[in-house]
Amino acid sequence: MASLKDLRNRIASVKATRKITKAMQMVAAAKLRRAQEAAVAARPYAQQMDAVLHNLAQGVVDRDNASPLLVGTGKSDTHLLVVMTAERGLCGGFNSNIAKLARYDASKLLDQGKTVKIMTVGRKGADNLKRDYGNRIVEKRDFRNVRRISFADAQGVADKILEMFEAGEFDVATLYYSEFISVISQKPTAFQLIPANVPAAESKDRSAAVYEYEPEESVILDHLLKRNVATQIFRGLLENGASEQGARMSAMDNATRNAGEMIDKLTITYNRQRQAQITKELIEIISGAEAL
Amino acid sequence: MSGTFRFELVSPERILLSDTAEEVIVPGVEGEFTVLAGHAPVVSAILPGVIHAKLMASTKGIYVDGGFVEVNPESVTVLADSAFIVDEADERQLADALSDAERALDQANDDDALRHVTSAIEHLKGLQRKRGI
């Protein structure tokens, strides 16, 4: 049985842990607000981009000569999985959920006899996938030293992906990130990046599509498709940023609560033992006095 | 109200400007053009340069580093690669943009890219001169 001193030490240590998790939770809450604002602020651009792209893609008649970014290479032999995770842990299942989804898809693709290549964005994803798919990781990026994700960071990742695509290193690219639904709920998501995921034609908004284009449609479409890759990656990074902080906040909230429960339990044990010792000493004194 | 339309300027990171405008001058790749209310629908790529927007109360110059503009009779939306409002930018921002452009000049390998970058440098230098730096 632990002595009173041991118990006192344990209580002190759990209290210190609780202080840390509480502080981390508060930091995550503050960061979450900023991350959420960034994600919301970036939305209009992505939406507008989608709308223009949508209009343009409907006008593409000659699908055989259209950009491979839109219609694909005609094959789907080699898949590139772009796995985006956080740089830090201690955020519940956030990183492992994304990695799990990617791992699941990778094994499915491998079973179908496809070639799988992996690009990781974020240190945790690389650590997580290193063991099973270490030899398939073709590129690692991390933003460890980036305090605030900017569009240029996303552009860097996009440039690398486009370069690989033009070199014919893969046919289909899929983005893995965590969609931010609410503070307590983040959903790991797979998003097909190349060929572009343009929704099917809707006949009713044909009238909205009579734009004139400068320069010609195909040139603009080409440029927009490239730009769209960067935009989608940027969106993924921002969603991830908000999700990470949300996940960390709820993980730390749980940890704080658990620490609180543990302190309560330890305190009860401590009080009981102290009482037992006092009683024991009293009995000794009384029985000693009676013996006289 | 006739004679006015919505003018929105968005960069990938945020909405920079969203206001009612009377007239907007855009540096398109095939020449500058002026947009008034009721303009025919156009989607155009833009060259780096300054967009002049005549808003209800004021006139604003916005430097954009390339991008797209979508025009339809009721609204103008600029999707800028990156942008700042000229009057609100500080000297460092101008200098940063200029050094970025100069770095890109060395890497420009085709006519389009070259045209893009020279336009950026020209306009940024013009802005600096105006401030007497």
Q: Is B26 helix (H, G, I), strand (E, B) or coil?
A: strand
Pick the CATH number of B5-85 from 2.60.15.10, 3.30.300.30, 3.40.50.970, 3.40.50.720: 2.60.15.10
Whether chain B has a CB inside 8 Å of the CB on A49: the answer is yes
Q: Which of A157-171, A179-193, A213-227 is least confident?
A: A213-227
Q: Quick check: A41 contacting B, CB < 8 Å?
A: yes
The model's pLDDT over B13-43, given as tens digits with 9 standing for 90+, comes to 888 888 899 999 999 888 888 999 888 888 8
pTM as predicted: 0.85
Using a CB-CB cut-off of 8 Å, the residues of chain B touching A223 are: 45
Q: In angstroms, rounded to a whole number, what is the distance separating the alpha carbons of residues A75 and A86?
A: 32
Contact yes or no for B12 and A212 at CB 8 A: no
Give pLDDT tens digits for A175-213: 999 999 888 889 999 998 888 876 655 444 444 557 788
Closest partner CB to A151 (pick from B8, B13, B43): B13
The band of A15, judged by pLDDT with boundaries at 50, 70 and 90, is very high
Q: What is the pLDDT of residue B3?
A: 82
User: In angstroms, rounded to a whole number, what is the distance separating the alpha carbons of residues A241 and A236?
Assistant: 8
| 8 A C-beta contact, residue A67 and residue A222 | yes
Residue B77 at interface with chain A, using a CB cutoff of 8 Å:
yes
Q: Where are the domains of chain B?
A: 5-85, 90-130
Cβ-defined contact of B43 to A56 (cutoff 8 Å): yes
**3-state SS, residue B52:** strand
The residue whose two tokens read 């658990």 is: A258
Are residues B12 and A42, on separate chains, in Cβ contact within 8 Å? yes
Does residue B82 belong to the interface with chain A, where contact is any CB pair within 8 Å? yes
Task: Quote the pLDDT of residue B112.
Answer: 74
Asked, as a colleague might, if the bond just before B41 is cis with ω within 30 of 0, I would say no
